[in-house]
Chains A and B, each alone.
Chain A
């Protein structure tokens, strides 16, 4: 996983609340394998007309936001399903962080597991950012080391779960850490099988 420390990129404002996972990646595209890439279908039905042509007014399609590395959106971003493909679509498109007042829980966890940073800022700070970026598109900096967003003259501190921060800064995934505890896991499961013998499915097929 690519570490996230300090990234400077264009930020695309998406002044929409409740951008759910069905918007981020409509279900009909989820048969793809990851190798085929999910970037082209990110926010598909918001970005494209029924005939497949891009909607010129949609912020991500505007020339001034080409190559955006961040999205700034309204509350409850990524609410809905557990489909990790919603994160694949953002990541494959080139988005490194999403800034919003709140996120769907499972989405945020999936994001962190894929090196995508969910930045939670207060609602008024987000509104301000959307206003400024809409008036004048400009690169901003998301600094995870110092947990702050630098935009124009503004410095906006954010709070992030320390575990997520460590994972993202180092590009770690959980698996190696878990496997280092293999003996404890085995001991737990043996103890538990004696304490709760009823837990095991009573037949297997």
Chain B
């Protein structure tokens, strides 16, 4: 097309939302969706200080997830300090006329699971939330990113946000993944390749045949972890898989509006010859099941590898970081990763708690027993109902794992679901930071199938022998 320079998916969504651009290049973006959770109390306090109101309550949605107890059946006692966090969100959203998927609402769940499930997450939108894993929603071709409390207050008050335009970075993953592998392995492989700050200041686009082949759940997992390589956001162009996932969702456009939307969404994929500031190619067949061994997601290796030896690291700063990580993790250089004993497992979080994740863990666990205790927390109340319809809850229970309600749970431990100091947890979450799952707790990140394999083995384990002959 003469006259129109080719544009990336990111460029198209960005440009459609620029209200104005200052001389210094910062743009004021219109925000299409603003998700809130209990952590928004700082922003509401700023609003109260200013006596301000919410500009777009129609585009703002609250979800109770960060603090909700996951054991909340009849007779369960809820810590009053935790209940207060959930109630504070109820009061703040009610006061400003914001729709809330609160505790007890059948639509409740983790914010990044609920948005897509309810049809609030759509291609071409700008989506923000005071949670860094807001990058998840980019799986639909939305421009979605996490913001801090002052920015949450700004969006609440104005429906807009000032942003510097990030650079663009396309990651092409071509070829077919081996059996037992999933989007989590692609994501951890990418983070280990580019580094935990390797994509800082960039908007990622994931492309290539391996990405096209991913289900919507897999794409959400991949985009979720964009932030762990430092990226501002991660995006995937909408296609037939995306459209199928949106059709019929409660808040998604219906009828003629849906057709009009589809027409707009078809224009979104990056134009041929669009310029990216950076680009890398990854071959899917090079990816093995991955576990983290350290305290940042970049400290990750194939399960077949050994614990790295810091003495062989040439860069002294990296060597020291590795030494400190191994010290915290209680690991010995040279030990086989697949023999490291674990004391607990966790399946959940906005990274890996959708129905497909639960199915893949259940496929490994069916008819087998876990050697260690563990928690399975579905990503939403809706996912929980579906899993129970499919009988997955029975498989988890019969294996010896606890099947609980939906929430952030052991991803961040704010609701009190934490491990004991020194415990080693195989986890489907997104951060293996020191103390993330409780003070002194050691976290190994991996896919749901890998966590299931670890549960059965009582050690970190290769899931591939366990998935043989089984259908996820």
Contacts and interface: CB of A to CB of B under 8 A. Distances in A.
Interface in A27-49: 27-28, 30-31, 33-34, 45
Contacts of B32: 199
Given A163-B22, A185-B28, 5 more contacts: A17-B318, A102-B230, A163-B164, A199-B125, A201-B120
Contacts of A76: 196-197, 230, 296
B321 interface: yes
Contact of A113 (B150, B159, B421, B439): B150
Interface string B17-34: 001101011101010100
A57 interface: no
B77 interface: no
Interface stretch (A63-71, A139-147, A148-156, A189-197): A189-197
A8 interface: no
A198 B261 contact: yes
B260 interface: yes
Contact of B132 (A50, A80, A103, A161): A80
B252 interface: yes
A84 B149 contact: yes
A20 to B, nearest CB: 5
A16 interface: yes
B24 A84 contact: no
B297 to A, nearest CB: 10
A198 B260 contact: yes
A202 B253 contact: yes
Contact of A178 (B28, B45, B58, B320): B28
25 contacts: A18-B196, A22-B434, A22-B435, A23-B434, A23-B435, A27-B412, A27-B414, A30-B414, A33-B45, A45-B434, A74-B317, A74-B321, A80-B433, A82-B131, A83-B148, A85-B149, A102-B230, A110-B151, A163-B164, A185-B19, A188-B19, A199-B32, A201-B61, A202-B254, A204-B58
Interface of A: 15-18, 20, 22-23, 26-28, 30-31, 33-34, 45, 50, 74-76, 79-85, 87, 102-106, 109-110, 113-114, 123, 127, 161-163, 166, 173-175, 177-179, 181, 184-185, 188-189, 192, 196-205
Interface of B: 19-20, 22, 24-26, 28, 30, 32, 39, 41-42, 45, 50, 58-59, 61, 81, 84-85, 99, 119-120, 122, 124-125, 130-132, 134, 145-151, 153-154, 157-160, 162, 164, 196-197, 200-201, 230, 232, 250-254, 257-258, 260-261, 264, 295-296, 317-318, 320-321, 324, 412-414, 421, 431, 433-436, 439-440
B260 A23 contact: no
Contacts of A205: 99
B150 A110 contact: yes
A27 to B, nearest CB: 5
Contacts of B42: 33-34, 84-85
A163 B146 CA distance: 20
A184 B20 contact: yes
Given A84-B150, A173-B150, A178-B154, A198 B253 contact: yes
Contact of A185 (B30, B132, B154, B250): B30
B131 A81 contact: yes
Given A185-B19, A192-B30, A202 B119 contact: yes
A34 B99 contact: no
A167 B230 CA distance: 24
A30 to B, nearest CB: 7
A204 B260 contact: no
A82 B253 contact: no
Contact of A197 (B134, B257, B295): B257
Given A17-B317, A33-B45, A200-B58, A174 B296 contact: no
B317 A198 contact: no
Nearest to B255: A202
Nearest to B258: A198
B264 A198 contact: yes
A182 to B, nearest CB: 8
Contacts of B260: 197-198
A103 to B, nearest CB: 8
State the 6 A-B residue pairs at the shortest beta-carbon distance, nearest first.
A110-B148, A198-B261, A84-B149, A84-B148, A198-B253, A113-B150
B317 A161 contact: no
A122 to B, nearest CB: 13
A143 B296 CA distance: 32
B19 A113 contact: no
A22 B195 CA distance: 19
Contacts of B321: 16-18, 74
A181 B160 CA distance: 11
A203 to B, nearest CB: 6
Nearest to B197: A76
Nearest to B418: A28
Contacts of A179: 158
A34 to B, nearest CB: 6
Nearest to B33: A201
A191 to B, nearest CB: 10
Contact of A188 (B25, B30, B147): B30
Contacts of A31: 81, 84-85
Given A123-B317, A185-B28, A79 B439 contact: no
